[in-house]
Structure 1
Amino acid sequence: MIEVEVKAHAPDLSNVASKLKVIGAKWIKEEYQEDIYFNAPHKDFAKTDEALRVRKVHYDGTKKTFITYKGAKLDELSKTRVEIEMGVEDPLRAGAIFENLGFRAVATVKKHRTIYSLDDLIITLDRVKGAGNFVEIEKDNEEGEDYQEVLNHIFAVYRKLGIREGFERRSYLEILGIH
């Protein structure tokens, strides 16, 4: 699957949240996420622009864990890339499997995320420990769908939110200076 995503710096998330309500976005939920990133023994993901993580998600008393692989970005404008994700039962065991295969944990990124939906888009307001506040707008691209059209729609929503600059292609790891 291809995830089409654009991220922007947003110092005032309460202002963005107010504008989301005005344009008809629907609040979904609040989450706390802790992402443990791994690097491979056979290649450096910082150089290949890939990512492998174990994500622990907490919301409404629920805990879930996911393993996610992200491929290299597909263009120079966005964070669009192949993404493969699956749920797992135990984050410690998932990490132990990677480490026993020679992968090493390189960083943990912690964030508070507020999730909205608008049309077929997911909009998140992220407070990332040590990195700041961000808005991410994304959509899982349907097979055969032109992702450039999806990007155009995402940038149109950013314009409605009054965000015309501060777009960020770097991952939270890169923003935090962890490679």
Structure 2
Amino acid sequence: MIEVEVKAIAKEFESIRKRLAELNALKIKTERQEDTYFNAPHRDFAITDEALRIRKIPENDNLKVFITYKGAKIDKSSKTRKEFEVGVADAELTKNIFESLGFKEVATVVKDREIYQLEEFIITLDTVKKAGIFVEIEKDLEDGSDFDETLQEIFKLYEKLGITEGFERRSYLELTGI
């Protein structure tokens, strides 16, 4: 799976929420995400631009847990990369497995996220502890064949939201400076 993603720094969310409503974007949910990142024993993900994380999402009385691997970014203007994600039952057990294999915990990033859908695009309004507020727009592709067209559509959608600058390729992990 290729995730075509562009992130932008936001000044505020109210005007963006208003424009999302005008575009008939559907608010899916609001959630808190706690992402614990790991580095590999055989290569440095900070150098290779990869990421491995355990994501925890509290939901009512349950805890959803996912393992996500993100490959290196594949272009210069977005955060597009291969991404693989799978749900797991136990965050602590998963962490213990990673550490037993030599993976080292690097940091944890916490964000509050509002998630919207507009056609095939997911738009998130993120408040990230120690980093600020951001808008992300993404679309998943089975392969990279529609990449250029999808990237153009994402930037057009940003224009409709009133965002024409402040695009950011660094990850939230990098932006928090942890």
Identity of aligned residues (%): 61
Structure 2 residue runs of 5 or longer lacking an equivalent are none
Query: What SS class does the counterpart of residue 79 from structure 1 fall into?
Result: coil
Cα distance between partner residues in 1 of 2:47 and 2:94: 24
Q: Is the 8 A contact 1:30 1:59 kept in 2?
A: no
Q: Find the counterpart in structure 2 of residue 46 from structure 1.
A: 46
Q: What TM-score does the superposition give when structure 2 sets the normalisation length?
A: 0.97
Q: Find the counterpart in structure 1 of residue 28 from structure 2.
A: 28
- Please, what is the CA RMSD of the aligned residues? 1.1
Query: What SS class does the counterpart of residue 73 from structure 1 fall into?
Result: coil
Identify if the C-alpha distance between structure 1 residues 3 and 22 changes in structure 2 by more than 3 Å, giving closer, same or farther. same
Q: Deviation of residue 11 (structure 1)?
A: 2.1
Query: What SS class does the counterpart of residue 8 from structure 2 fall into?
Result: strand
Structure 1 residue runs of 5 or longer lacking an equivalent are none
- Deviation by residue 1:63-87 (Cα, 9 ceiling, x = unmatched): 2000000000000000000001000
Cα distance between partner residues in 2 of 1:57 and 1:14: 25
Identify if the C-alpha distance between structure 1 residues 24 and 145 changes in structure 2 by more than 3 Å, giving closer, same or farther. farther
Q: Find the counterpart in structure 2 of residue 85 from structure 1.
A: 85
- Deviation by residue 1:34-88 (Cα, 9 ceiling, x = unmatched): 0000001111000000000000012344420000000000000000000010000
Aligned residues: 178
Cα distance between partner residues in 2 of 1:68 and 1:62: 19
Q: Is the 8 A contact 1:54 1:66 kept in 2?
A: yes
Q: Find the counterpart in structure 1 of residue 64 from structure 2.
A: 64
Deviating more after overlay: 58-67 vs 122-131: 58-67
Cα distance between partner residues in 2 of 1:112 and 1:125: 8
Cα distance between partner residues in 1 of 2:144 and 2:48: 26
- Deviation by residue 1:76-108 (Cα, 9 ceiling, x = unmatched): 000000001000000001111000100010100
Q: Is the 8 A contact 1:114 1:124 kept in 2?
A: yes
Deviant stretches of 4+, over 4 Å: none
Q: Is the 8 A contact 1:11 1:132 kept in 2?
A: no
Q: Deviation of residue 18 (structure 1)?
A: 1.3
Q: Is the 8 A contact 2:2 2:144 kept in 1?
A: no
Cα distance between partner residues in 2 of 1:58 and 1:113: 12
